[in-house]
Structure formats: structure tokens, C-alpha cells
Amino acid sequence: MVEKKIKVYNLILEKIKKSKNIALISHKNPDIDTLSSRISFYEMINLNFNQKEIDLICVAQIPIKYNFLINTDKFKSNFNPSKYDLIIFFDSWSKTQTWFDLKYETLFDKKTFNTISIDHHITNEIYAKQNILNTTYSSTTMIIYEIFLLTNLKINKNIATSLLAWIYTDTWWFKHSNTTNITYFMAGKLLKLWADYNLIVDKFFKNNSLSTIKLWWKVISESFIDEENILYSYVNKSMIDSYNSSYEDVSWVVDHLNTTSWIKYCSLFTQKWEFVKASLRTLRDDIDLTLIAKKYNWGGHKKASWFTTKWQALLSSNFKIID
């Protein structure tokens, strides 16, 4: 198994060696996983390969909370596929998630463009010319680190910090159920490489405005548990505006809700215009949230999933877990 991975990872490195112009692309509504993966890959190429022109592409605005990550000032929104001889997508499980499925119809023609997708979602559509997919890992950054580790690439402090950022935040200080022995192993290795643990804690976990905390309290105070021990809460535009906040400020409150005792799972509904995004979390091993999410436009994993749909469609549906 390891030998097969090494062979596949070396094929990626060979493509990088042969390329002069490379685009590293994040998905829409960027999170730390897609950003950290891309940033660490950017650093890796500059550290291990010479004479490469690399563009970090991110069409959407990066949340201010993530600006502590290195090289966020280098991100570009302009993208012309014909400029590049290698295009790599990070943490994007579908063509739609890349932003470019409508604007550049030929981008996903495997005979026209040299594309690579590196991802961990079970919903991945295998849309690139070469697809690196590992659904057993909790993040794409874990795949990136494995590439570096198994191919003996040089890793500096910036790379180590970028990779640790998502591993540490996604497991919520190693408290979530996606924390495994592999997670601890990788985190330990990255800390030995001088990953800046304090920077991550200070800028991510200890960097919330009072208005954000008040918004969290509002969301928590509006929550309730139904007769089946399912916890619900919601966010709408008026709540966001009243606390002078943004939708990004509420994205992590679902993890606080998920710590509630005795619940099966929690659902946080975020309403945007006529649409709603449901963020689903559970700590229980006997519940598979994908059974709910896959009924809609969805993504995620067994214990952490999400879906989007129109608000009226959700109200008229039978939104219950399948036991």
C-alpha cells in the first residue's frame, strides 16, 4: 500500500518538475483546509524545485480570521487556464466547488488541460486528469503532509505551520472524534519541524471579537432539543446584521453545540436569501450524517456533514435521521 502511494506521489512530483507555470486553486468559500493545503504546496515547490512560476488562485475573499496563514497576500482572483501547464485543485470535491465549471467548460477536458485534484471527500466526482483521493483522512492537509513525508521532500517552518493549522482547528484542539492515532502522529512530526502552535492558538482560537461571541451566544440561546434528542439552531441575516458580524463568524459555533450531552446530533441552519445551509455534527459512532445530507446538495463525512437546499424545500421535507 505504501509503495503504491509513493509511486502515485512521485508522478505528481514529476509533473511539477516538467511544468513551468503552475496554478494552485482553492475551492469556493475557502476554509483553512483548502488554504493550508495550497499554501504548503506553494512553499514546497519553491523550496524543492527551481524556476517555477506559481499562482495562488482564490476567487472568493479570504475570511480575515485566516490571514495569519503565510502568503495570503499572494492570492489572485484572476484565472486564465491557458497560461498554465499544470493546474492543481485542493480540497475541491466537484467541478462546481472549483468556481470554474461554467466559465471554463474545457478546463475539465482531460485531453486539453493537465489537472490534478487532491481531496479527502467521499463525494469527490473524480473530475481531474489525475485524482489523489483518500477518504479515510479527516483533511486534505493530511494527504499533503503524507506526500511530503513519503517522498522525502524538504519541509520548512512555514509548511509545518500551515499543515498543523488545519489539523489542529479541524479536530478542535484534538477534541473531536476525527482525532486518530494518525492525527497525533502527524501533529507530533510537524511540531518537531517547528510548526508555530502558539500562532495558531492565538490567531484562531483566541482572536474572536466581542460581537462574534455575542452572536454565538444568540445562536446557542435559540437552540432546542426535540423529542428524539436532536439539537437544532439557526442563523439568519437579521441576526448577522444586528451583531455587525459575517456568516464566517458563525461557522464554528456548531462545534460548540455538538458538545451538548445526550444528543444524537446537532443541526445548525444558516439562511441566505431563499437558500439554507445545514451544518450537521455528531460525536456518536452509531450515526451516519451522510444519510441525511445526501438527500440534498451535500458534502462531508459520517460525523460532520452539510447540505444546501431552498428554505421552502427543507420546510416541506421530512428531515429526520435514518436509524
Q: What is the pLDDT of residues 270-293, one digit of tens each?
A: 987 778 899 999 989 899 998 988
pTM of the model as a whole: 0.82
Q: Do domains 2-203 and 210-315 have the same CATH topology?
A: no
With 0-12 / 13-18 / 19 or more C-beta atoms within 10 angstroms meaning exposed / middle / buried, residue 180 is middle
Report the pLDDT value the prediction gives residue 245, as an integer from 0 to 100. 84
How many CB atoms are located within 10 Å of the residue 223 CB?
A: 17
Average pLDDT over residues 71-93: 91
* Segments making up each domain of the chain, as ranges: 2-203, 210-315
Kindly state the percentage of the chain with pLDDT values over 70: 94
Q: Tell me the three cell numbers of residue 101.
A: 465549471
Average pLDDT over residues 221-238: 93
Report the pLDDT value the prediction gives residue 60, as an integer from 0 to 100. 83
Q: What is the pLDDT of residues 150-202, one digit of tens each?
A: 999 999 999 999 999 988 887 767 766 667 788 888 889 999 999 998 998 88
In words, the CATH class of domain 2-203 is alpha beta
Is the pLDDT confidence value at 122 over 70? yes
Q: Position 183: which residue type?
A: T
Rounded to 5°, angle at Cα 40 from 35 and 41: 100
Strand pairing class (115-119; 130-133): parallel
Is the pLDDT confidence value at 105 over 80? no
Report the pLDDT value the prediction gives residue 135, as an integer from 0 to 100. 87
Q: Position 41: which residue type?
A: F
Average pLDDT over residues 44-61: 91
SS (H, E, C) 272-291: ECCEEEEEEECCCCCCCCHH
- Pick from 118, 207, 132: which is nearest to 169 by CA? 207
CATH no. for 210-315: 3.10.310.30
Q: Tell me the three cell numbers of residue 114.
A: 493537465
Is the pLDDT confidence value at 239 over 50? yes
Band the pLDDT of 224: cuts 50, 70, 90: very high
